[in-house]
Amino acid sequence: MGEDWLARPRRPVPLTIVPVENETLTSYLRRLAAANRLDSEALRVYLTGDKRKSARVGLDTLALVSGQPRHALRYAILELATPRDLHAVHVAARPRPGGWARPQCQHCTLSRGHGTAAAWCWNLHEDPLCFRHRRWIGDGRDYAHHAQPDLSGHPDIMAANRRHRRMIRRHGRHTVMTAFREATHICDRWHQRRVHDQDFSRIMRIFHGPHWQVSATDPTIHAARYPQIVSLTKLLASPVGREKILLSWPEPVEFIAEVRRTVAPHYTWTLTGGIHDPLVALLAQERQLCDDAEGDADRQPAPETIGYPTRTNRHRSRRLASGSWDG
Ligand SMILES: [Zn+2]
Over residues 171-190, the pLDDT tens digits come to 999 999 999 999 999 999 99
Residue-wise pLDDT for 190-238, tens only, equals: 999 999 999 999 999 999 999 999 988 889 999 999 999 999 999 999 9
**182 within domain boundaries:** yes
Specify whether 24 is located in the same domain as 80. Answer: yes
- Decide if 129 contacts 158 (C-beta within 8 A): yes
How many domains does the chain divide into?
2
- Decide if 137 contacts 105 (C-beta within 8 A): yes
Residue 130: predicted pLDDT: 93
Specify whether 42 is located in the same domain as 100. Answer: yes
Instruction: Tell me, yes or no, if the pTM score tops 0.85.
Output: no
73 CA to middle of ligand 1, Å?
21
Residue 320: predicted pLDDT: 45
Residues 6 or more apart whose CB falls under 8 angstroms from that of 209 comprise none
Specify whether 100 is located in the same domain as 166. Answer: no
Determine if residue 172 is left, alpha or beta; phi over 0 gives left, psi from -120 to 50 gives alpha, anything else beta: left
| pLDDT cut 90: percent of the chain above it | 49
Length of the chain: 327
Residue-wise pLDDT for 60-111, tens only, equals: 999 999 999 999 999 999 999 887 777 777 777 788 888 788 888 888 888 7
**110 within domain boundaries:** yes
80 CA to middle of ligand 1, Å?
25
23 CA to middle of ligand 1, Å?
15
Specify whether 195 is located in the same domain as 268. Answer: yes
For residue 254, give the nearest of 190, 325, 316, 182 by alpha carbon: 325
Specify whether 61 is located in the same domain as 197. Answer: no
Specify whether 177 is located in the same domain as 257. Answer: yes
Specify whether 291 is located in the same domain as 184. Answer: yes
**239 within domain boundaries:** yes
Query: Residue 298 above 80 pLDDT?
Result: no
Grade residue 141 by pLDDT with cuts at 50, 70 and 90.
Answer: low
**268 within domain boundaries:** yes
Specify whether 106 is located in the same domain as 160. Answer: no
109 CA to middle of ligand 1, Å?
7
Domain stops at, among 101, 123, 145: 123
Query: Residue 133 above 90 pLDDT?
Result: yes
**149 within domain boundaries:** no
110 CA to middle of ligand 1, Å?
9
How many CB atoms within 10 Å of residue 277? 20
The phi and psi torsions of 120 (rounded to 5 degrees) equal -95, 130
203 CA to middle of ligand 1, Å?
21
Domain stops at, among 123, 146, 176: 123
Grade residue 273 by pLDDT with cuts at 50, 70 and 90.
Answer: low
Specify whether 227 is located in the same domain as 317. Answer: yes
- Between residues 259 and 318, which one has the greater pLDDT? 259
81 CA to middle of ligand 1, Å?
26
| pLDDT cut 70: percent of the chain above it | 81
**180 within domain boundaries:** yes
Residue-wise pLDDT for 42-65, tens only, equals: 899 889 888 888 888 999 999 999
Specify whether 159 is located in the same domain as 279. Answer: yes
Specify whether 73 is located in the same domain as 212. Answer: no
Residue 290: predicted pLDDT: 72
Residue range of the domain that includes 195: 155-299+309-322
260 CA to middle of ligand 1, Å?
34
Residue 276: predicted pLDDT: 79
Grade residue 321 by pLDDT with cuts at 50, 70 and 90.
Answer: very low
- Decide if 153 contacts 224 (C-beta within 8 A): no
92 CA to middle of ligand 1, Å?
22
148 CA to middle of ligand 1, Å?
10
3-state secondary structure of 217: coil
Q: Please, what is the average pLDDT of the chain?
A: 83
Specify whether 112 is located in the same domain as 169. Answer: no
Separation of alpha carbons 168 and 312, rounded Å: 28
**327 within domain boundaries:** no
Under DSSP, the state recorded for 150 is B
Residues 6 or more apart whose CB falls under 8 angstroms from that of 13 comprise 32, 35, 36, 38, 65, 66, 67
**135 within domain boundaries:** no
Alpha helices in the chain (DSSP H): 4-7, 25-35, 40-48, 59-66, 70-76, 83-88, 106-111, 155-171, 173-192, 198-208, 219-237, 239-247, 253-262, 278-299, 313-320
> Once rounded to an integer, what is the mean pLDDT over residues 233-253?
89
> Once rounded to an integer, what is the mean pLDDT over residues 280-284?
89
